[in-house]
């Protein structure tokens, strides 16, 4: 059947153990007993395919997974494991402290529009994230682990770092919300004057300090308290819904007319505002925008708000969709619960936001929405204090969660080694990432120093949009490449939807701030390049390795095998002798030729270093058969690895090939004929002049025969033959001055003129001049004319 799928109608036929033994007995009775030593057979003569029965493997895997889940306590289901934590992360401070004010500024219609745009962006990203998260077996490690193992180390590091900064800055935003709620609850119990930026900063710093201590010492408390904080959020939202639906009730909560303290000309004054229930009839008056209307809720905010500015302010309220995947290690069925639970939480919170836009537009006049900074509490039933304290509890819980997840995210990125500059933040297994937590605290301090929630939220928006852009674009690329490694179990996604999501994210970024959008893209690109440079040895089996393969394959198939003369470039095959010792170390017979090959890399062609290793008689069977010993493959692999090290030492970017043969001439023939692929076949053969050319006897005769055989093969296959003579070629560390003399005696197509040009591109030869010598064969040739023609040529 090969490696393909089973055809329709195929059956799995059970075979008895006796039948297998009978088959093995037939194999053992074979006359070709030397086949037993092949790697294709086990030590007892069993064929490769005679492995343990599939049913046993599947059954054992299922039992082990069941035992592991029982040891963890059974694992969490979709509701408590995904829906609750995701909902708690999405429902944040902006719903309580900014949504009524946004409705007053934008009006009901535009407020519905901006909420719909933001929720659509996160909904599409949720679809892409679900596809990425279910691509393969889901293990522990959270969102960063899932994304980086699917998108690759470079892009995973960029997305992960943006997500980390969003978490750290998000903690600052939550603590600012805590301070605002505290100022309303206890206006006289403030460190500095209530409502000032400095009071937000100082109080926020103190809350952050306590939060850092709690996170560093009470990790289990923070995790277990998540459900409790969510219950507080649900109770708070219920009070807000009831208040808007019931309206003001005499003697209960806030009356239909009440006073709020505002700042006018640096003086605090109390102004009277009103509100009513859903039957108040205000929705028609609040339907259109009111960007020019005066607002007194935030007197220090002088921003001229528009639809785009309010969208930037509101977008962080729609984030938090990765909270469920962060608990992948604790879920009973992560492949099924993460997509379903995240989509449910995202859809439910989106409906909640849209409902509150309609409710706030219906229950209060615009002047109330713009001047009461905490109308969500003023309109609550039965008491506004329930919402105030609920907001304080929920924002503190959300801030602790953000610090917790942010520090672990930074530690995970540092532990992967893709960003060496962050290696100090990696935590040892089983240890708390306190250095990473300290880094998150520093970033949070910088955000708190801004002092205004309205200014921090757009910055947070930019990081989330950059992160979501990468997720959507990566999902679209993985679908289009159609790599065999890309096989997510989540089927409700399409590359076109992911493209729409990526375009929407990019549009929002540039609409909010073109300058900050460019800075965010440049930042992510630099992280991508830096991580790619340091992740060559990282092998995660990510989908982008398949994308690179597909791109290389498509380019290779479309390359024209017959290049135009103007596009010709030297593509070197460096032929050298080599030997592998018992300790697997590789010895190059003429290493100085590698320096020459490295200094010719200015041609931007491929370079293949081909080593011919002489095999030992013990590597083959004594009867002269074509089968090799079982350690043969490992010796070739060791030789290839050693060749890579030699190439790195000589700064050669190319490929290494080891030909293991008992006949040196046959090895040369194989290298010249089979090296390269398609248009990337070597057109130049570089070899060293045999040092034993003039050695008398059989040894010298063998060396001359090998050399002439190589030249003959190169000529037959129309390769440019370059011979390096001598052993005093400059090393890579040398810096030469003087002249490079070219003796152009016969017409060679210009290769001798091209070589010094390419050499001078290397720093070893950069300060040398080129001198060309030619021979005038005819007596009538005028040397001056020949010189002018050469200069023109």
- Residue ending a domain, among 533, 559, 584, is 533
Domain final residue, candidates 704, 734, 764: 734
Query: DSSP character for 421?
Result: G
In this structure, are 313 and 394 located in the same domain? yes
Is residue 673 domain-resident? yes
**pLDDT mean across residues, the chain:** 78
Q: Which of 4-18, 276-290, 342-356, 658-672 has the highest mean pLDDT?
A: 342-356
In the prediction, which pLDDT does 652 show? 81
Task: Note whether 476 and 495 are within 8 A (CB).
Answer: yes
Phi-psi region of 433 (alpha: psi -120 to 50; beta: other; left: phi over 0): beta
Per-residue model confidence (pLDDT) at position 17 = 42
Of the candidates 204, 225, 200, the one whose C-alpha atom is nearest the C-alpha of residue 214 is: 225
- Supply 186's token pair: 């206890």
CATH for 93:
1.20.1740.10
> Is position 26 within any domain?
no
> CA nearest 465: which of 404, 512, 396?
512
723-752 pLDDT, tens digit each: 888 777 888 888 888 888 888 777 666 777
Confidence grade of residue 45 (pLDDT, cut at 50, 70, 90): very low
What percent of the chain has a predicted confidence (pLDDT) above 70? 78
- How much of the chain, in percent, has pLDDT values that exceed 90? 15
Rounded Cα distance, 528 and 377, in Å: 45
- Which CATH number covers residue 590? 3.40.50.620
Shared domain for 627 and 721, answered yes or no, is yes
Domain span holding position 591: 570-734
In a domain, 59, yes or no: no
- In this structure, the answer to whether residues 492 and 393 fall within a common structural domain is yes
Residue 631 and residue 616: Cα distance in Å, rounded? 12
Judgement on whether residues 155 and 291 belong to the same structural domain of the protein: yes
Question: Are 448 and 588 in a shared domain?
Answer: no
Q: How far apart are CA 229 and CA 90, in angstroms?
A: 13
Cα–Cα distance measured from residue 551 to residue 559, given in angstroms and rounded to the nearest whole number = 12
Does the pLDDT value for residue 585 go beyond 80? no
pTM for this model (two decimals): 0.72
Same-domain pairing of 512 and 616: no
Q: What is the pLDDT of residues 424-477, one digit of tens each?
A: 888 877 677 889 899 999 999 999 998 888 888 888 899 899 989 988 988 888
Contact 109, 288 (CB under 8 A): yes
Q: Does 579 lie in the same domain as 492?
A: no
> Is residue 742 within 8 Å of 772, Cβ to Cβ?
yes
pLDDT at position 538 is 60
Residue 628: its pLDDT value, please?
Answer: 55
More confident residue, 550 or 594: 594
> Is residue 7 a part of any domain in this protein?
no
For residue range 216-266, list pLDDT tens digits in order: 876 666 666 767 777 888 889 999 999 988 888 876 767 788 888 777 777
What residues pair up with 1 in beta bridges, in sequence order?
Answer: none
3-state secondary structure of 417: coil
Using N-to-C axis directions, what is the helix angle for 453-481 and 99-133, rounded to 10°? 30
Return all residues near 385 (Cβ < 8 A) that are at least 6 apart. Answer: 185, 377
In this structure, of 67-81, 475-489, 719-733, the range with the lowest mean pLDDT score is 67-81
* 698 and 597 within one domain: yes
Mean pLDDT, to the nearest integer, of 3-22? 41
Evaluate whether 41 touches 48 at the Cβ level (below 8 Å). yes
**pLDDT computed for residue 310 by the predictor:** 92
Q: For residue range 276-320, list pLDDT tens digits in order.
A: 878 777 888 899 998 888 887 777 777 788 899 999 999 999 988
What is the structure's pLDDT at 620?
A: 46
Does the residue 747 lie in any domain? Answer: no
What are the tens digits of pLDDT across the range 489-518? Answer: 888 889 999 999 999 999 999 999 899 899
Q: Is the pLDDT of residue 31 over 50?
A: no
The packing angle between helices 142-151 and 153-185, to 10°, is 150
Q: Give Cα 400 distance to the centre of its chain.
A: 26
Q: Are residues 594 and 495 in the same domain?
A: no
Of 8 and 73, the structure prediction assigns the larger pLDDT to: 73
How far is the C-alpha of 462 from the C-alpha of 469, rounded, in Å? 10
Q: Which two tokens stand for residue 200?
A: 């937000």
Half-sphere exposure of residue 196, counting CA atoms within 13 Å on the CB side? Answer: 11
**Does one domain contain both 610 and 520?**
no
Q: What is the pLDDT of residue 137?
A: 66
For residues 398 and 404, give the distance between their C-alpha atoms in angstroms, rounded to a whole number: 10
Return the pLDDT at 44. Answer: 41
Determine, yes or no, domain membership for 211. yes
Runs of H (alpha helix) within 53-196: 54-71, 78, 84-90, 93-97, 99-133, 142-151, 153-185
8 A C-beta contact, residue 460 and residue 317: no
Domain boundary at 533, 559, 588, which? 533
φ, ψ for residue 30 (rounded to 5)?
Answer: -65, 150
- What's the number of domains the chain is made of? 2
- The structure tokens 């925008």 sit at 289
25 in any annotated domain? no
Question: Number of helices and strands (H, E) in the chain?
Answer: 27, 10
Same domain, yes or no: 527 and 577 = no
Q: 585 in helix, strand or coil?
A: coil
Is residue 510 located within the same domain as residue 596?
Answer: no
- Per-residue pLDDT of 383-420, as tens digits, reads 888 888 888 888 888 888 888 888 888 888 888 888 88
Closest Cα to residue 749, out of 786, 706, 720, 712? 720
Q: Which residues contact 275 (CB under 8 A, 6 or more apart)?
A: 247, 248, 254, 256, 363, 364, 365, 368, 375, 378, 379
The answer to whether residue 756 sits within a structural domain is no
pLDDT for residue 219? 64
Q: Which of 634, 195, 698, 206 is nearest to 453 (CA)?
A: 195
Query: Please, are residues 654 and 61 in contact by the beta-carbon 8 Å criterion?
Result: no
Mean pLDDT confidence for 340-345 = 92
Comparing 70 with 148, which gets the higher pLDDT? 148
């Amino acid at each position: 059947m090969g490696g393909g799928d089973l055809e329709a109608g195929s059956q799995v036929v059970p075979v008895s153990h006796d039948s297998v033994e009978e088959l093995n007995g037939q194999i053992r009775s074979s006359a070709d007993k030397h086949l037993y030593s092949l790697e294709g057979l086990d030590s007892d003569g069993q064929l490769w395919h005679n492995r343990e029965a599939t049913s046993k493997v599947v059954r054992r895997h299922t039992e082990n997974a069941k035992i592991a889940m029982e040891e963890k306590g059974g694992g969490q289901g979709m509701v408590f494991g995904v829906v609750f934590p995701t909902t708690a992360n999405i429902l944040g401070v902006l719903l309580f402290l900014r949504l009524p004010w946004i409705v007053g500024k934008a009006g009901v219609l535009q407020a519905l529009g901006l909420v719909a745009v933001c929720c659509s962006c996160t909904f599409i990203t949720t679809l892409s994230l679900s596809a990425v998260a279910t691509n393969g077996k889901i293990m522990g490690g959270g969102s960063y682990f899932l994304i980086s193992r699917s998108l690759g180390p470079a892009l995973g590091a960029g997305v992960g770092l943006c997500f980390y900064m969003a978490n750290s800055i998000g903690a600052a935003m939550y603590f600012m919300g805590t301070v605002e709620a505290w100022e309303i609850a206890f206006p006289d119990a403030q460190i500095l004057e209530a409502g000032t930026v400095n009071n937000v900063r100082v109080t926020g710093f103190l809350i952050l300090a306590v939060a850092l201590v709690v996170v560093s010492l009470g990790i289990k408390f923070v995790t277990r308290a998540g459900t409790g904080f969510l219950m507080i959020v649900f109770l708070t939202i219920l009070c807000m819904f009831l208040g808007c639906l019931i309206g003001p009730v005499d003697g209960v909560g806030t009356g239909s007319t009440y006073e709020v303290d505002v700042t006018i000309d640096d003086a605090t004054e109390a102004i009277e505002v009103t509100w009513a229930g859903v039957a108040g009839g205000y929705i028609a008056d609040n339907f259109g925008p009111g960007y020019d209307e005066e607002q007194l809720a935030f007197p220090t905010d002088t921003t001229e708000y528009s639809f785009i500015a309010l969208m930037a302010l509101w977008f962080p309220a729609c984030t938090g969709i990765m909270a469920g995947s962060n608990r992948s290690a604790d879920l009973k069925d992560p492949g099924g619960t993460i997509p379903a639970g995240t989509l449910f939480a995202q859809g439910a919170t989106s409906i909640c936001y849209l409902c509150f836009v309609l409710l706030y537009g219906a229950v209060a006049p615009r002047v109330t929405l713009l001047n009461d900074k905490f109308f969500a509490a003023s309109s609550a039933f039965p008491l506004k204090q329930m919402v105030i304290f609920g907001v304080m509890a929920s924002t503190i819980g959300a801030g602790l969660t953000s610090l917790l997840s942010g520090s672990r995210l930074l530690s995970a990125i540092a532990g992967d080694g893709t960003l060496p500059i962050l290696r100090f933040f990696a935590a040892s297994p089983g240890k708390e990432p306190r250095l990473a937590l300290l880094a998150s605290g520093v970033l949070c301090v910088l955000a708190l120093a801004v002092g205004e929630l309205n200014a921090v939220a757009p910055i947070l928006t930019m990081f989330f949009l950059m992160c979501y852009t990468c997720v959507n674009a990566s999902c679209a690329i993985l679908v289009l490449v159609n790599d065999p490694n890309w096989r997510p179990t989540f089927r409700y996604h399409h590359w076109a939807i992911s493209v729409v999501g990526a375009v929407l994210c990019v549009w929002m970024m540039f609409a909010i701030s073109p300058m900050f959008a460019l800075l965010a893209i440049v930042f992510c690109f630099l992280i991508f390049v830096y991580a790619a440079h340091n992740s060559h040895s990282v092998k995660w089996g990510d989908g982008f390795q398949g994308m690179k393969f597909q791109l290389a394959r498509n380019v290779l198939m479309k390359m024209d095998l017959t290049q135009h003369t103007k596009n010709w470039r030297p593509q070197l095959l460096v032929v050298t002798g080599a030997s592998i010792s018992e300790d697997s170390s590789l010895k190059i017979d003429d290493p100085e030729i590698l320096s020459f090959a490295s200094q010719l890399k200015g041609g931007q062609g491929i370079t293949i270093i081909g080593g011919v290793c002489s095999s030992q008689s013990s590597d083959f069977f004594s009867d002269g058969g074509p089968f090799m010993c079982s350690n043969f493959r490992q010796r070739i692999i060791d030789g290839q690895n050693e060749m890579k090290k030699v190439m790195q030492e000589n700064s050669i970017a190319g490929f290494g090939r080891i030909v293991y043969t008992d006949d040196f001439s046959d090895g040369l023939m194989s290298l010249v004929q089979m090296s390269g692929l398609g248009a990337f076949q070597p057109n130049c053969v570089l070899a060293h002049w045999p040092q034993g050319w003039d050695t008398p006897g059989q040894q010298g005769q063998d060396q001359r025969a090998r050399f002439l055989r190589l030249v003959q093969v190169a000529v037959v296959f129309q390769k440019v033959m370059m011979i390096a003579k001598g052993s005093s070629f400059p090393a890579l560390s040398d810096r030469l001055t003087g002249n490079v003399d070219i003796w152009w005696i016969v017409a060679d197509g210009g290769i001798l003129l091209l070589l010094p040009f390419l050499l001078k591109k290397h720093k070893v030869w950069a300060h040398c001049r080129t001198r060309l010598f030619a021979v005038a064969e005819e007596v009538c040739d005028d040397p001056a004319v020949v010189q002018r023609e050469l200069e023109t040529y």
